[in-house]
Every structure is written in structure tokens, then in C-alpha cells.
Amino acid sequence: MQSYELSKVKSRATSNLFNNVDKFIDLRSDTVSKPSLAMRKAMAEAAVGDDVFAEDPTVIELQEETARILGKEAALYAPSGCMANQLAIAVHTTAGDEVILEADAHIYNYETTAASYLSRVQLNPVKAADRGLLSAEDIRPAIREKAYYMPITRLIAIENTHNRAGGTVYPIERIREVSELARSNEIIMHLDGARLWNACVFANCSPKDYADYFDTVSVCFSKGLGAPVGSALAGPKELITKARRFRKIWGGGMRQAGIIAAGALFALRNNRERLVEDHAKARRFAEIITDGSKNVKIDLTRLETNIVLLKIEGFSDLGRALGMLKEKGVLLSLGSHGLLRAVTHLDVTMDECERAAREVVALFG
Ligand SMILES: Cc1ncc(COP(=O)(O)O)c(C=O)c1O
């Protein structure tokens, strides 16, 4: 393995790493964090090979480790969470099938109709009664009766944590109930676990505790875990082999992908437990606003992980609100349903979150 002279890239890497944070307190998403120097070093030193030939040792290591953590037979590295979810839909369904999911689910709202485009399935969105978290009771009426003229309910996709609902976490018991309903109706279960790591920290359980109830699980390395690129789909060997074929069809076969997989592996090994810090920062941010503001409302019952949803009462131009915050050096993003969204991550400090919260209070009263 070639040794890597960190000093040569240090100045550039350091300025990359901090320029965003210097200028703005960037709470738009947990995807905005930059790889740390230690992560970059691991990436630079990664052993690589041609992953289209399944010869990249670092990709293989990442896939095996992810599968082991999730208690699945195999896993496949994918360029994005969207692709990992769509691979799951592709391997589980045939054209004309139906997928039940929550009405605010990422797969339904933010994947550019990919499920109908790529797998020719219909999505059946169900509104959850409790903070984006589906129950067996919510889902039961959406399951189709078996008749030749009806869609076939093939798959239930669950999102944990639930992004648009504000990072809410499924209690394991709820997942068990949903999976019993699914099994008794011969329905497959997929978990969109882009932020499963955050859910596990909140619920104090292992990823496998959740994954056991699902046929396939997608996870992301590039959100709270801080890797620059990538996700994985985990499940039975036979399905992952099939997913590999779809990934190639969709142009996702990557060559010396070990370079980026090394960042993901570093993230998986080093950045899971620290998510508790992101949750604490989100809580502090929300508390300062809740204590200090009359006009900005936060539903604290949704605040379980690193996403904070803010409602600014009497202020309908949210684009303007974002612009005003930006002038004060704070970047938030538009949430859904007339809300603003703040997401904490490993590139913002507690102090910055406190400052950002005070700016929100000062601006909107
Ligand atoms: C719940 C959820 N699933 C999937 C994705 C897609 O991930 P990516 O942006 O890597 O495609 C996201 C992205 O934010 C997400 O929040």
C-alpha cells in the first residue's frame, strides 16, 4: 500500500473542511458535512480494485461489515440512498405491483417518481396518525383485496428515522406489529434506513434489532455519519446479486470505488456513537428557541434525533425567512407543510447551534 503524504493536501483539505462553517452556520442538512482529515487519510490509503469485477477489497470490506451490522447475508454499495431504495423496489416487485409507504416518505416525495419510472409500480401513500410513524392500523385498510383487477400489494416501505416528519423514530414494537401484518398478508418489508443510525442511538438498540423485521434495508453513510458518498442495500444474498445487476443497468457500476468506500467504512466505524452529540445539539437549538421565542413554534414531541422543524407564526414567505437568516450567517432549509428545517451534524458545534438559535429568536421574536 502506498503511503500518503498528508501534509501535501493538508492546507487545501483544511480550507475545504472549514470554509462553509467559517462563513455560515450550515444547518440545511446533515449531508453538508465534509470529510475530516482522518477520513480523507483513510480514503487516500484505501486498497482498491475494479469493483465492476467485484475486486475492490475496500468495497468488499464495507459491504461485509454493513451486512454483519445489519444481520443480513449480503450488502451492496450504492452511490446514493435513492439508488439503494430503488434497488430494493426493483428486486422485490414486478410491474403493476403496489408499494405502501407513508405519505411524507422520501421514496414518495423526493425520488423523482423513480419507482414508477424504473420499476413500473404504483405507490400507495398512507398518512400516519402518529408523527409520520405508520402503525398496523394505518396500513391495514390500504392492503388490497386479492382480485385480478386490483393492484397487488407487494411491499411495505418504512422510513426510520422519518425525515419529513422531523427525524422521528419507530418504537421496535410498532415495527413488530407492522411486520406481523405484512407477513400474514405475504407482503415484503423494506426499511429506508438512511438515518437508521440516528434511530438506533435514540432507541438504544442495535441496527440489527430493527433490520431483523425487514427483508431488505438501505442505509446511508453520507448523512449523519459524515462520509462523502454512498449508501448500501442489505438483504438475502440472492436479492443482493439481483440488485447488483440493476445497479449496473442504471449506470451505478463503479470501478476503483474503494476510495469512497473507505470514507464510508471510516464513518461506519468511527461516527455512529457520536450521533448522540448531534441529537443534543438539535435539542439545545430547539430549547433556546422554545424558551425565547413567541412566534417560532417547535413540536418537541417530534424532536428525537437531529432534525428540528420550525413553524414561524404569521410569516408566510419562507423564502424570505431563509434569506433573512442567511444574512445573519445561518442556513436553514425549507421543510414540508410550511415549516423550516434545521439539521445538526458533525460539522456544527454546540456553540454554533446556540448562536443560530439566538439569531432565530432575534429575527422572528
Ligand atoms: C429518508 C431518506 N431516504 C433516502 C434518502 C436519499 O439519499 P441520497 O440523497 O443519498 O440519495 C434521503 C436523503 O436525504 C432520506 O432522507
Joined together, the cell numbers standing for residue 350 give: 454546540
Residue 256 sits in the same domain as residue 293: no
The reply to whether 322 falls in a domain is yes
Confirm if 132 and 159 have CB atoms less than 8 A apart: yes
Per-residue confidence at 163, pLDDT binned at 50, 70, 90? very high
Among 211, 238, 270, the domain-final residue is: 270
Residue 282 sits in the same domain as residue 261: no
Pocket (CB within 6 angstroms of ligand 1):
80-82, 85, 106, 159, 163, 192, 194, 220, 222, 231
The reply to whether 50 falls in a domain is yes
What's the 218 CA to ligand 1 centre distance in angstroms?
10
Residue 18 has pLDDT above 90, yes or no: no
pLDDT in tens, 113-139: 999 999 999 999 999 999 999 999 999
Domain span holding position 202:
40-270
- Across the range 189-206, mean pLDDT stands at 98
Residue 285 sits in the same domain as residue 254: no
Mutation probe of ligand 1 site: the residue of 112, 221, 223 with most atoms within 8 A of C-beta: 223
Residue 183 sits in the same domain as residue 296: no
Instruction: Say what the pLDDT of residue 340 is.
Output: 98
Among 270, 300, 320, the domain-final residue is: 270
Residue 212 sits in the same domain as residue 255: yes
Residue 223 sits in the same domain as residue 294: no
What's the 82 CA to ligand 1 centre distance in angstroms?
6
For 36, left (φ over 0), alpha (ψ -120 to 50), or beta? beta
Confirm if 261 and 56 have CB atoms less than 8 A apart: yes
Angle at 69 between CA 187 and CA 103, to 5 degrees: 40
CATH number at residue 112: 3.40.640.10
What's the 87 CA to ligand 1 centre distance in angstroms?
13
Nearest alpha-carbon partner for 2 in 361, 344, 259, 338: 259
Tell which atom from ligand 1 comes closest to the C-alpha of 79: 10
The answer to pTM > 0.75 is yes
What's the 291 CA to ligand 1 centre distance in angstroms?
32
- Give 3 or 218, the one with higher predicted confidence: 218
Residue 77 sits in the same domain as residue 122: yes
Cα 106 from Cα 123, distance rounded (Å): 12
Cα 38 from Cα 247, distance rounded (Å): 30
The reply to whether 1 falls in a domain is no
In this structure, the strands spanning 231-235 and 216-220 are antiparallel
Residue 55 sits in the same domain as residue 192: yes
What's the 97 CA to ligand 1 centre distance in angstroms?
23
pLDDT in tens, 232-266: 999 999 999 999 999 999 999 999 999 999 999 99
The reply to whether 252 falls in a domain is yes
Written as one letter, the residue type at 351 is D
pLDDT in tens, 288-335: 999 999 999 999 999 999 999 999 999 889 999 999 999 999 999 999
* Cis status, amide bond into 161, omega within 30 of 0: yes
DSSP states of 131-180: TTB--HHHHGGGSPP--TTSPEEEEEEEESSBTTTTSB---HHHHHHHHH
The protein residue whose alpha carbon is closest to atom 6 in ligand 1 is: 81
| Secondary structure class of 100 (helix, strand, coil) | strand
Positive or negative, the CA dihedral 5, 9, 13, 19 is positive
Written as one letter, the residue type at 167 is G
Other Cβ atoms within 10 Å of 44 Cβ, number? 16
Residue 249 sits in the same domain as residue 290: no
The protein residue whose alpha carbon is closest to atom 8 in ligand 1 is: 81
The protein residue whose alpha carbon is closest to atom 3 in ligand 1 is: 194
The reply to whether 83 falls in a domain is yes
Joined together, the cell numbers standing for residue 306 give: 437531529
Instruction: Say what the pLDDT of residue 3 is.
Output: 42
CATH number at residue 355: 3.90.1150.10
The reply to whether 35 falls in a domain is no
The reply to whether 324 falls in a domain is yes
Tell which atom from ligand 1 comes closest to the C-alpha of 192: 3
Mutation probe of ligand 1 site: the residue of 29, 30, 33, 82 with most atoms within 8 A of C-beta: 82
Tell which atom from ligand 1 comes closest to the C-alpha of 231: 10
Residue 319 sits in the same domain as residue 232: no
Nearest alpha-carbon partner for 28 in 123, 206, 163, 138: 163
CA distances from residue 263 to 46, 95, 131, 172, 217 in whole angstroms, order as listed = 9, 36, 33, 30, 20
Residue 126 sits in the same domain as residue 74: yes
The reply to whether 351 falls in a domain is yes
Residue 8 has pLDDT above 80, yes or no: no
Written as one letter, the residue type at 30 is D
What's the 81 CA to ligand 1 centre distance in angstroms?
5
pLDDT in tens, 29-78: 999 999 999 999 999 999 999 999 999 999 999 999 999 999 999 999 99
Quickly tell me which residue has 475486486 as its cell: 55
Average pLDDT of the chain to the nearest whole number: 94
Instruction: Say what the pLDDT of residue 21 is.
Output: 46
Among 223, 238, 270, the domain-final residue is: 270
Confirm if 182 and 154 have CB atoms less than 8 A apart: no
DSSP states of 103-127: TT-HHHHSSTTHHHHHS--EEEEE-
Tell which atom from ligand 1 comes closest to the C-alpha of 220: 10
Structural domain tally of the chain? Answer: 2
Instruction: Say what the pLDDT of residue 23 is.
Output: 84
Residue 283 sits in the same domain as residue 351: yes
Positive or negative, the CA dihedral 132, 353, 196, 251 is positive
Instruction: Name all contacts of 349-356 with Cβ < 8 Å and 24+ positions apart.
Output: 349/281, 350/277, 350/280, 350/281, 350/284, 352/21, 352/25, 353/25, 353/27, 353/281, 353/282, 353/284, 353/285, 354/284, 354/285, 354/288, 355/25, 355/330, 356/25, 356/27, 356/285, 356/330
CA distances from residue 166 to 58, 105, 188 in whole angstroms, order as listed = 34, 11, 26
Written as one letter, the residue type at 257 is A
